A and B are shown apart, each in its own frame.
Chain A
Amino acid sequence: MPDPILIGKALATTALVAAVALLLYRLLWRGAGSGRASPAWALSLGPALFAGCWLLDLRPHWPATEALDRFLIFVLPALVIIEVVASLRRFPAWLAWLLRMCCAAAAGRILLHNTVYLSDLAGPGSSEWTRAQSLQILACLAAGAIVVWVALVLLTWHAPNRSIPLALALSSGAAGVTVMLSGYASGGQLGLVLSAALVGATLASFILHGSADVTSSIGVAVMTLFALLLVGRFFGELTTTNALLLFFAVLLCWLPVVLPYIRRMGPILRGTLQVLLVAVPVAIAVLLARQKFLEDFSAGSDEPSAEDYRGSEQ
């Protein structure tokens, strides 16, 4: 059982690290990134996620044999580096997007590396997916990650608002709880850490003048949420329905921007509505996971059937 006091301390530290990192960046490089998306949020979320994971004993191990190790060692640093590189004035925008897409496309393959899904761990031909199935599933995963990433970046360009990181914080916090309820208690804590980091950075951004340039937070947050849900789905017992609800819920942030009447509302009201809209599918996912959790813990193991004994007759 996760220790609630330890989790509380770790989340407070994560939020603090994210806030301090964001303020420090803006203090030290006041004019940096002008004309391009600032990497401040990515540079704030990256260290905060590492700090939170470290405090919760989710430290990456080498060799990186487990999915969470591979996420923290390969995927997360790559996301932060890409956002930093993308903010350089002379770096071509198309190349930055190509790197982002490559990272999104590769993440699923990296996380599922050397598992029963892709590898013949129990002898030749024992992998659960055929080569064609693997390609299809990995392509679908990559497409899902790219769609959400691009859609949210376009939204920040179209209607910049701090409600987007807050909606992502809500989704990731709920995803953390759902993954914990789905049999992977320590893995789910990554969602809570991401949520705390996003809330910490958002609160700190209120101190800063001007509109919040949250573009660089999208990649880190979306791909961390993606990794968490993938790990919960393929290594824990997270259902596909809950994974889809939690991952695509943030797309509802587009609704108040495109719907007539609502789009004329002030940014605060529209932002609140965005967060509330995201809360609906997210709450459904948590409730479904809680119901399954209660059912699983109240039931014994699956009863054996006559089929289970048929082998003994041979």
Chain B
Amino acid sequence: MCKAIHGIVCTAVLFLVIGLAGNAQATDDYTIDPIHSGVGFKISHVGLSWIQGRFNSFSGDFTLDPDSPANSSFSMSIKTDSIDTNNKGRDNHLRSPDFFNAKQFPAVSFKSTAIKPIDGGYEVTGDLSLHGVTKSISFALKGGAKAEFPMGKFRTGFTAEFPIKREDFGVGKPGNGLGNEVLATVSFEGVKK
């Protein structure tokens, strides 16, 4: 009798462990699809117009845990020398030590540290490393709808728009006709691994 109870308890514990393990694997891992994603920005010029630009080379991964969003995570790395503002001379200047110093700081990286579900997405907090300076930033990441495209490739996508104060990261000097605030736009699709 005692042996039977012991056996039942062991089996229950085993199922519980398997169940928990199964639950732990319920997270979905995605790789950012660079073809259907974009990292752009705009910055005010002399307070008159907005200069728009983008980074052409970036990569990233994210993990979504629908049951426990706090366990989700996002990370992204952007190559600074891929900056593109549709003017070669200006792009060269932006890559120089006057701004991004792409040879010394070749990447801008972001790694989430806290995720909170909000209406229509997540509130993401994380460390942004830019120009050798790391600071915590928060933004609303909207989206999360899922699609199968093409057949057999499961994907989801998000978009975020948030301001960054370039002087906080030592990118360029104050003034020079450029606004301090840069409005960044990140829109990406992730393909399920």
B-binding residues in A (CB < 8 A): 1, 57, 65-68, 114-117, 121-122, 182-187, 231, 234-237, 293, 296-297, 299-302, 311-312
Contact = CB atoms under 8 A, between A and B. Distances in A.
A187 B97 contact: yes
Given A237-B92, A300-B86, A300-B88, A67 B97 contact: yes
Given A65-B132, A67-B104, A121-B107, A301 B98 contact: no
B88 A301 contact: yes
A301 B84 CA distance: 7
Given A1-B176, A183-B96, A301-B91, A235 B101 contact: yes
A66 B89 contact: no
A-B pairs, top 10 by smallest CB distance, nearest first, are A296-B89, A297-B89, A183-B92, A312-B35, A184-B96, A296-B88, A237-B92, A236-B96, A183-B93, A183-B96
11 contacts: A1-B176, A114-B104, A115-B103, A116-B106, A122-B107, A182-B92, A183-B96, A186-B173, A296-B87, A299-B87, A311-B34
Q: Chain A: interface secondary structure?
A: loop
A247 B88 CA distance: 26
Contacts of B96: 183-185, 187, 235-237
A296 B104 contact: no
A182 B88 CA distance: 11
A68 B97 CA distance: 9
B187 interface: no
A254 B103 CA distance: 37
Interface in B106-162: 106-107, 132
B90 interface: yes
A117 to B, nearest CB: 7
B85 interface: yes
Contact of A235 (B86, B88, B97): B97
A117 B90 contact: no
A183 B96 CA distance: 6
B174 to A, nearest CB: 10
A182 B107 CA distance: 22
Contacts of B47: none
Contacts of B102: 116
Contacts, number: 80
A302 B101 CA distance: 20
A302 B88 CA distance: 7
Contacts of A117: 103
Given A187-B97, A299-B89, A301-B87, 9 more contacts: A66-B101, A68-B97, A115-B104, A117-B103, A122-B106, A183-B95, A183-B96, A187-B96, A297-B87
B88 A297 contact: yes
Contacts of B98: 184-187
A66 B103 contact: no
A122 B177 CA distance: 32
Contact of A297 (B35, B84, B90): B90
A182 B34 CA distance: 31
Contacts of B173: 57, 186
A117 B92 CA distance: 18
A66 B99 CA distance: 12
Given A1-B177, A293-B89, A296-B89, A235 B106 contact: no
A115 B89 CA distance: 22
Nearest to A312: B35
Nearest to B33: A312
Contacts of A236: 92, 96-97
Contacts of B176: 1
A184 B103 CA distance: 13
Nearest to A63: B132
B95 A301 contact: no
A293 B103 CA distance: 20
Contacts of A67: 97, 104
A15 B170 CA distance: 30
Interface in B15-64: 34-35
Which of B85, B95, B98, B106 has the most chain A CB within a 10 Å cutoff?
B98
A137 B101 CA distance: 21
B86 A301 contact: yes
Contacts of A234: 103
Contacts of A312: 35
A133 to B, nearest CB: 15
Given A121-B107, A235-B104, A184 B87 contact: no
A231 B86 CA distance: 25
A57 B170 CA distance: 13
A65 B169 CA distance: 13
Nearest to A65: B132
A63 to B, nearest CB: 9
